[in-house]
């Protein structure tokens, strides 16, 4: 049944229409004042009602006039009921909410006060008012976070004295002679910043980031060797056994016949061998320890730890970052990321760290040609890959699953390994995935590096750090299952030798895939990934320490974040105990920043 109610305002007449809501007829009386909104039927005076309300004398419309706030309904409470409750509570809540942003900053940044902003968000008269309220609360979220970061940074620098490791020119020269190539300008600038940090007397806390293949590992190697050269110990922690072992091989090549005493400690190192490494590290007989999170286990002790380097920081949580810092008397800390992190996200997540960006690629990196191949073209591309294998190249085939899933109709790595062993029957095809034992994974990688395996079928375990210059083909199946930054990291496994390289995508096309194919700029890709998937998905970990932002938008509010950071650091510099901002101090004292406020 259809309910029709006629309304008029002296200038015209309209018919309000409800479908299957005849029960509403008893709500209306002749002479009622009604406000309604909905869809007008073309050519007829009919309005299919979406919202309406009957207004009494002196009553303000809440549900159907002007801008109407929309709240997520919950069980037992409709949007309309929530709107009414918020309206009733708004005035009292606004009066009781303390202002945590200092008045001078509200004026300087053109921000609404908290009471006005609450009304702007929940009862705006115009879209501009709603945006002004959101902008104020976005600034507050950024400001509170940056004050915490400024306090943390100040405590680190005031409470603790770092090791003063002055890197003289003679040591600098000795380290550089170990590198078989000339460093880029960006690498040299990064090294100078690190030398300055190490010799400052305050603990270094620096984030080093750059695009895939920009040469972050060499910069980290310089820092580690500098610490060892100053007669302290150094540790390098990587997120996977494969990557940690690759770092160990890199240092073995660099160090050659030098006297630096190095050891590897991963999850696969057990028993007597592990005990010997722990004892030697505790006595100071190990200069450089390389490993996985095994290096921060409770029974690992250093005699004199001077520097800790954390590779692929986004794969670790904030707790691991803190744990490695407790392994010595305030060691210097250098953090590296695999792929670029957008500046706004870096300032939010790593805002207590100094930032170094490698914005220059080493010479000799091959441009990788990236192509999306629809299903019909798959057979031709397999023929193309076979030809490249005959020319002596090697290929990665990456799949999102280890084995078949009942829930997802996706080809798994194990299934694909069987099929590709037939397709490429003239070549050696091997399988690599995370469920394999460390020694099994290592054996497969050794065979691939040596060229005895031509096709490596894998899951995401090859996402980071694998370096095989002869591998010039990266095939990613079900490409829609990966984030942009993951795809970019996989693409970074090739193009490391003198050969033309190809990244081939099979799966479903999308805006994300088109973006990936169109650019090889890791910073552009990171921005796009942040916009499309949000910060939590981009980082790939729930324990990353990223705060929940309700009003702020990391990309659109980039300028606001910069302003909030500038204001927060200036406030802490002139008033480190926040005596002039009591409401802000009380708010922070209830959270994780409370202990930071007791340091004058």
CA atoms within a 13 Å half-sphere pointing along the CA-CB vector of 245: 17
Q: Of 48-62, 249-263, 279-293, 547-561, which gets the smallest average pLDDT? A: 48-62
Query: What pLDDT does 186 receive?
Result: 95
Given a cut of 80, is residue 508 above it in pLDDT? Answer: yes
Which token pair is 250? 């890199």
Model pLDDT, residue 101: 97
Domain spans, the chain: 2-65, 169-200+213-338, 368-519
Helix (H, G, I), strand (E, B) or coil at 498: coil
* Phi then psi dihedrals of residue 39, to 5 deg: -105, 130
Q: Name the percent of the chain lying above pLDDT 70.
A: 90
- Write the CB contacts of 348 (distance below 8 Å, at least 6 apart in sequence): 142, 145, 535, 546, 547, 549, 554, 561
Distance CA 378, CA 381 (A): 5
According to DSSP, the residues that pair with 6 across neighbouring strands are: 15
Mean pLDDT of 232-254: 90
- Please give the CATH superfamily to which domain 368-519 belongs: P-loop containing nucleotide triphosphate hydrolases (3.40.50.300)
155 CB neighbour count, 10 Å cutoff:
18
Contact between 593 and 174 (Cβ < 8 Å): no
Q: Indicate the DSSP class of residue 78.
A: -
Tokens linked to 446? 């050794």
CB–CB of 347/482 below 8 Å?
A: no
Judge residue 234's burial from the number of C-beta atoms within 10 Å of its C-beta, 0-12 exposed, 13-18 middle, 19 or more buried: buried
Point out the least confidently predicted range of 104-108, 431-435, 464-468.
Answer: 464-468
The whole-number pLDDT of residue 337 equals: 84
Least confident of 147-161, 164-178, 272-286, 411-425: 147-161
- Confidence (pLDDT) at 59: 65
For residues 348 and 410, the model is more confident at 348
Place of tokens 């007669």: 231
DSSP helix/strand/coil, 8: strand
Whether pLDDT at 539 is above 60: no
- Nearest CA to 489 among 478, 499, 500, 476? 476
Is residue 475 a contact partner of residue 506, using CB atoms and an 8 Å limit? yes
> Which H or E run includes 535?
helix 522-539
pLDDT(380) > 70: yes
> Quick one: pLDDT at residue 541?
44
Q: Helix, strand or coil for residue 358? A: strand
Distances (CA, A) of 239 to 135, 234, 243, 261, 266: 38, 17, 7, 22, 10
Q: 599 pLDDT exceeds 50?
A: no
Asked if pLDDT for residue 600 goes beyond 60, the answer is no
- For 169-200+213-338, the fitting CATH number among 3.10.250.10, 3.40.50.300, 3.40.50.150, 3.30.70.1520 is 3.40.50.300
Q: Give pLDDT, residue 418.
A: 94
Where would I find the H helices in 28-78? Answer: none
- ∠ at Cα 98 (93, 102), nearest 5°? 145
Return mean pLDDT, the chain.
Answer: 86
Determine the Cα–Cα distance for residues 444 and 437; give it in Å rounded to an integer: 11
- The pLDDT of 158-186, averaged and rounded, is 88
Task: Look at the block and give the residue holding tokens 């406000």.
Answer: 35
- Per residue in 357-378, pLDDT (tens digit) is 998 888 877 789 999 998 878 8
Confidence bin at 212 (pLDDT 50/70/90): confident
- Which pLDDT does position 135 carry in this prediction? 97
Which of 186-195, 249-258, 516-525 comes out lowest in average pLDDT? 249-258
Residue written as token pair 């076979």: 386
């Amino acid at each position: 049944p259809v309910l029709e109610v006629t309304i008029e305002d002296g200038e015209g007449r309209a018919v309000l229409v409800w479908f299957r809501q005849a029960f509403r007829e008893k709500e209306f009386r002749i002479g009622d004042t009604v406000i309604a909104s909905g869809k007008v039927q073309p050519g007829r005076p009919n309005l299919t009602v979406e919202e309406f309300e009957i207004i009494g004398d002196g009553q303000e419309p809440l549900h159907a006039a002007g801008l109407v706030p929309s709240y997520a309904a919950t069980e037992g409470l409709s949007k309309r009921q929530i709107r009414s409750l918020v309206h009733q509570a708004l005035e009292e809540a606004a009066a009781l909410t303390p202002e945590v942003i200092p008045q001078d900053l509200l004026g300087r940044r053109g921000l609404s006060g908290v009471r006005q902003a609450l009304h702007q968000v929940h009862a705006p008269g115009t879209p501009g008012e709603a945006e002004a309220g959101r902008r104020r609360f976005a600034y507050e979220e950024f400001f509170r976070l940056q004050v915490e970061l400024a306090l943390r940074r100040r405590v680190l620098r005031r409470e603790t004295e770092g090791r003063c490791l002055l890197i003289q020119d003679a040591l600098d020269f000795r380290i550089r002679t170990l590198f078989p190539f000339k460093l880029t300008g960006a690498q040299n600038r990064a090294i100078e910043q690190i030398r300055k940090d190490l010799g400052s007397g305050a603990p270094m806390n620096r984030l080093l980031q750059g695009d895939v293949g920009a040469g972050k590992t060499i910069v980290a190697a310089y820092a580690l060797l500098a610490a060892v050269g100053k007669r302290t110990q150094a540790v390098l922690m990587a997120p996977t056994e494969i990557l940690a072992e690759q770092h160990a091989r890199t240092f073995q090549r660099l160090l050659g016949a030098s006297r630096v005493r190095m050891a590897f400690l991963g999850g696969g190192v057990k028993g007597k061998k592990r005990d010997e490494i722990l004892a030697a590290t505790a006595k100071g007989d190990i200069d450089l320890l390389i490993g996985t999170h095994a290096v921060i286990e409770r029974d690992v002790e250093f005699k004199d730890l001077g520097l800790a380097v954390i590779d692929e920081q986004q794969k670790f949580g904030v707790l691991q970052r803190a744990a490695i810092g407790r392994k010595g008397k305030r060691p210097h800390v250098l953090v590296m990321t695999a792929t670029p992190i957008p500046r706004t996200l870096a300032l939010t997540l790593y805002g207590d760290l100094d930032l170094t960006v490698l914005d220059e690629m080493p010479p000799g990196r091959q441009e990788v040609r990236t192509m999306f191949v629809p299903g019909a073209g798959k057979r031709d591309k397999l023929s193309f890959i076979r030809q490249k294998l005959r020319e002596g190249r090697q290929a990665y085939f990456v799949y999102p699953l280890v084995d078949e899933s009942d829930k997802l109709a996706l080809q798994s790595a194990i299934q694909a390994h069987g099929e590709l062993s037939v397709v490429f029957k003239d070549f050696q095809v091997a399988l690599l995935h995370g469920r394999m034992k460390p020694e099994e994974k290592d054996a497969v990688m050794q065979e691939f590096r040596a060229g005895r395996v031509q096709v490596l079928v894998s899951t995401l375990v090859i996402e980071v750090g694998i370096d095989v210059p002869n591998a010039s083909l990266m095939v990613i199946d079900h490409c829609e299952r990966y984030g942009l930054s993951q795809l970019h990291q996989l693409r970074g496994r090739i193009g490391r030798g003198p050969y033309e390289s190809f990244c081939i995508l099979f799966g479903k096309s999308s805006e994300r895939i088109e973006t990936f194919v169109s650019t090889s700029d890791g910073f552009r890709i990171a921005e796009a990934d942040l916009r499309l998937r949000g910060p939590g998905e981009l980082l790939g970990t729930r324990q990353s320490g990223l705060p929940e932002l309700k009003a702020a938008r990391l990309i659109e509010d980039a300028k606001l974040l910069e302003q909030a950071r500038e204001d927060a650091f200036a406030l802490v510099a002139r008033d480190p105990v926040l005596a002039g901002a009591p409401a802000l101090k009380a708010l922070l004292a209830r959270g994780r920043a409370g202990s930071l406020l007791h340091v004058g």
